[in-house]
Amino acid sequence: MSTIGNSVSSAPTSSADRARTNGRARMALQVVGELLFTVGVLFLFFVAYQFLGKPAEVAHAQERLDAGLEQAWQAPSASSAEPVTRPHRVHQGEPFVRLAVPGLDKRWAVVEGVSQAALRNGPGHYPGTAMPGKLGNFAVAGHRSSGVFLDLDRVSNGDVVAVETRDAWFTYRVYQRKIVQPDELGVIKPNPDRPGARPTRAVLTLTTCEPKWSSARRLIIHAELADVRTKH
């Protein structure tokens, strides 16, 4: 911009001369350039938010949910007299169990529901699918983002997935990892190995997107109940 004030006499073809004659056009170009630069910086900033800001938000929400879970479990209630795996009524967005993948060194408070709002805070349980340890399919969805299911593709057969409820720990062992189309509802059916058939065992299913940061397909982890330990 300082070149506009440069009145050094020079040849008519010099850049300073052209800048003077096309001052307005140059100004407009500069504004457009600065706007494009700003948009570019904001895009990069948004990417930084995806990698740093969002995981921090999830971590914060998880801390709050985990504390709420701990408080709810320690409070004496009628449900403590019920059988070990009997679920009490859980509302959408409320935390109700803990999920851990020791191989990834991760643990989450799982909320009820798989809406955008519910999944913002961490993994969510598909409503209507089985409760942990029960015959059928305990299905959980989570974002493929840092702090949630980013590294779920590193889970392999035989790995442990653990679920902690108010009254018990359930240990599942992974027996299948696969990639399916987004509309493949069979993977969360009570019997995911034979969708439509009656369940024959207690299964856990994790779903997330595949590949990372895409909605093209779904990464599915199936695990089978291997061990139950009651807390009391």
Partner 1 sequence: MYGLIWRSLPGPLAVRIGLAVVLAAAVGALFWCAVFPLLDELLPVDEVTVDH
Q: Which is nearer to partner 1, 45 or 77 (CB)?
A: 45
Please tell me the distance from the alpha carbon of residue 110 to that of residue 229, in angstroms, as a whole number. Answer: 19
- Least separation in angstroms between residue 48's CB and partner 1 is 9
The three-state secondary structure class of 220 is: strand
DSSP 160: E
Q: Which is nearer to partner 1, 62 or 171 (CB)?
A: 62
Q: Which is nearer to partner 1, 110 or 188 (CB)?
A: 188
Of all helices (H) and strands (E), which one includes residue 172?
strand 168-180
- Least separation in angstroms between residue 223's CB and partner 1 is 17
Find out whether 89 and 72 touch, Cβ atoms under 8 Å: no
Find out whether 147 and 123 touch, Cβ atoms under 8 Å: no
- Least separation in angstroms between residue 183's CB and partner 1 is 6
- Least separation in angstroms between residue 138's CB and partner 1 is 15
- Least separation in angstroms between residue 188's CB and partner 1 is 6
Q: Which is nearer to partner 1, 67 or 213 (CB)?
A: 213
Amino acid at 112: E
Strand runs labelled E in the chain = 95-101, 106-112, 124-125, 136-141, 160-164, 168-180, 202-210, 217-230
DSSP H helical ranges for 75-203: 116-119
- Least separation in angstroms between residue 230's CB and partner 1 is 31
Q: Which is nearer to partner 1, 95 or 122 (CB)?
A: 122
DSSP 89: P
Handedness of CA 146, 152, 155, 160 (dihedral sign): positive
Site residues for partner 1 per CB under 8 A: 1, 30-31, 34-35, 42, 45-46, 49-50, 53-54, 57, 114, 116, 119-120, 126, 141-145, 149, 180, 182-185, 187-188, 207-209, 212-215, 218, 220
How many C-beta neighbours within 10 Å does residue 214 have?
9
The three-state secondary structure class of 95 is: strand
Percent helix, strand and coil across the chain, each rounded to 5? 35, 25, 40
Q: Which is nearer to partner 1, 141 or 155 (CB)?
A: 141
Q: Which is nearer to partner 1, 134 or 144 (CB)?
A: 144
- Least separation in angstroms between residue 119's CB and partner 1 is 7
